[in-house]
Amino acid sequence: KQTYRMGTIVLYPAPAMGHLISMVELGKLILKHHPSCSIIVLNLTNSHKSGSIVSYISHVTETIPAIKFHHLPKIPLDLESYSSSEAIIFDLIGRSINNVADVLRCIEPTALIIDLFCTSAMSAAANLNIPVYYFITSGACCLVKILYFPTLDRDYPGSFKDMNRLVYSPGMPPIPSADMPGPVLQRNSTDYSDFLQLANLLPKSSGIIVNTFDSLEPKPIRAITDGLCVKDQATPPLYCVGPLLADSYNETHECLNWLDLQPKQSVVYLSFGSECMFSIDQLHEIAKGLEMSGQRFLWVIRSPPTVKRGELFVPPDVVDLNQLLPDGFIERTNDRGFVVKKWAPQVAVLSHESVGGFVTHCGWNSVLEATRAGVPMLAWPLYAEQKLNKIVMVKEMKVALPIDAKDGKVAAEEVEKRVRQLMESEEGNIVREFVKARKDDAARAMSEGGSSRVALAKLVESWQTTRHL
């Protein structure tokens, strides 16, 4: 086996758990198979919800000393002045450009691997002649939409949210315009122009790494590699190296003890990512639906957002179940339900044999985690590119059944109907069989000679041609 002499690879993730974890997993994978590389992760110290990030970083530092974190200087933020969580992240990254340039000048890495949010670092790297690779923490289906976006911008004048028509892109099923990724819904917005700028810059990178695997999304992957998405210039090499996911490590949590006592594949797990905060009204509908379904459930609950502006994007610390759930719900479902406040050890939960279904917000990490564990899903998208993911999960990957909202709300009857369908109907069984096949595909992709391992080797090989080797 050939070992390359490798320089330093700098990883620049966005300061959000899902983005950070998969980027660190990429670093771990590079180190495992190409130990002559060294990995440095740039960390934006003052993420507005740094608590879990700080403890995750200390866990990685203790367990994988070969991965070094470089903490960028703090940027003062006025949290009350932002309109969205993304706006905070963009501003933080934009104002850190000079700090990133200083680090790159000092380290002179072989390559810089950036998150989509970190596009502003591209010019700093270009000035220093350092090749930039993107790391997409979502799927190839989302990447199609980004790469093809300049064409969509030209062909679909107006705002997607008001257009009420289908949007066609290479390798993708048609998407209702209102289901396009959140940032592009409103044409005259900064988010829209940022997205367009990103779409124009991506093809100028040295390569695009995606957290997916060939057999999970064959059509969008082929559309990209056949050059159908990028117009008037070459498409950079594509490296599908996934699924890159955190392992569950020595997890202890009372919900896992409870799962131990439940029959095999009998429990439906409900969790909506790291950001979701439902209204009390919506929480009540879910509770009623679960109660009517008669199914066993494990449900992660957070409090609705506070009205205090500076805390709008941070889930409140206190979760008072009596205030959030219908009267007597906990008592009535005590023999078959378990409610977790704020955060569950999701990877461990999904790989527990008692779990037979997953109601998910379609965040890409959650989708991959469930796929790797062979757990069929109910797709309930909430924000970002999740509505797009839902369509692909249901129509192409066939790993999920849909759950439908009316006027932004999912009614108790829909929750009941879909949970039953997933857990006890023939349609549910079909999805279960599909997702089990995908589980085997995922393991194959990551094993010796598998598509993701081959892609990783090609990526590392591409660094050989750079000036530092």
Residue nearer to ligand UDP on the CB measure, 114 or 368: 368
Q: What single letter denotes the amino acid at residue 254?
A: E
Distance CA 376, CA 367 (A): 10
- Is the distance from CB of 18 to CB of 385 less than 8 angstroms? no
Contacting ligand UDP within 237-276 (CB under 6 A) = 271, 273-275
Q: How many residues bind ligand UDP (CB under 6 A)?
A: 17
Q: Is 371 in the site for ligand UDP (CB under 6 A)?
A: no
Binding segment (CB under 6 A) for ligand UDP, from list 80-88, 150-158, 339-347, 420-428: 339-347
Q: Is 25 in the site for ligand UDP (CB under 6 A)?
A: no
Write down the least CB distance from residue 48 to ligand UDP, Å: 15
- Is the distance from CB of 442 to CB of 213 less than 8 angstroms? yes
Beta bridge partners of 339: 299
Binding segment (CB under 6 A) for ligand UDP, from list 145-153, 261-269, 362-370, 459-467: 362-370
DSSP class of residue 203 equals G
Distance CA 100, CA 106 (A): 10
Write down the least CB distance from residue 257 to ligand UDP, Å: 17
Q: Is 363 in the site for ligand UDP (CB under 6 A)?
A: yes
Q: Is 168 in the site for ligand UDP (CB under 6 A)?
A: no
Write down the least CB distance from residue 378 to ligand UDP, Å: 14
One of 344, 355, 392, 401 touching ligand UDP (CB under 6 A): 344
Binding segment (CB under 6 A) for ligand UDP, from list 55-63, 204-212, 236-244, 338-346: 338-346
Distance CA 201, CA 147 (A): 9
424 burial level (CB within 10 Å; 0-12, 13-18, 19+): middle
Write down the least CB distance from residue 347 to ligand UDP, Å: 6
Distance CA 63, CA 82 (A): 36
Write down the least CB distance from residue 18 to ligand UDP, Å: 3
Q: Is 369 in the site for ligand UDP (CB under 6 A)?
A: yes
H or E stretch including 408?
Answer: none
What residue number has its CB nearest to ligand UDP?
363
Distance CA 197, CA 123 (A): 13
DSSP class of residue 167 equals E
Q: Is 346 in the site for ligand UDP (CB under 6 A)?
A: yes
Q: Is 236 in the site for ligand UDP (CB under 6 A)?
A: no
DSSP class of residue 410 equals -
Binding segment (CB under 6 A) for ligand UDP, from list 186-194, 325-333, 359-367, 438-446: 359-367
Residue nearer to ligand UDP on the CB measure, 72 or 300: 300
- Is the distance from CB of 319 to CB of 283 less than 8 angstroms? no
Residue nearer to ligand UDP on the CB measure, 111 or 446: 446
Number of H helices and E strands in the chain, helices first, is: 20, 15
With a CB cutoff of 8 Å and minimum separation 6, the contacts of 232 are none
Distance CA 30, CA 111 (A): 13
Pairing of strands 111-115, 175-176: unpaired
Residue nearer to ligand UDP on the CB measure, 338 or 463: 338
Phi-psi group of 240: left, alpha or beta (phi > 0 → left; psi -120 to 50 → alpha; rest → beta): beta
Binding segment (CB under 6 A) for ligand UDP, from list 175-183, 363-371, 403-411, 426-434: 363-371
Coil, strand, or helix at residue 226?
coil
Q: Is 211 in the site for ligand UDP (CB under 6 A)?
A: no
Q: Is 40 in the site for ligand UDP (CB under 6 A)?
A: no
Coil, strand, or helix at residue 257?
helix
Measured torsion, CA atoms of residues 363, 367, 372, 376, in degrees rounded to the nearest 10: 150
Write down the least CB distance from residue 237 to ligand UDP, Å: 25
Distance CA 304, CA 319 (A): 9
Q: Is 364 in the site for ligand UDP (CB under 6 A)?
A: yes
Residue nearer to ligand UDP on the CB measure, 226 or 247: 247
* Contact letters for ligand UDP, residues 291-310 (x by CB under 6 A): ---------x----------
Rule CB under 6 A: which residues touch ligand UDP? 17-18, 21, 271, 273-275, 300, 343-344, 346-347, 363-366, 369
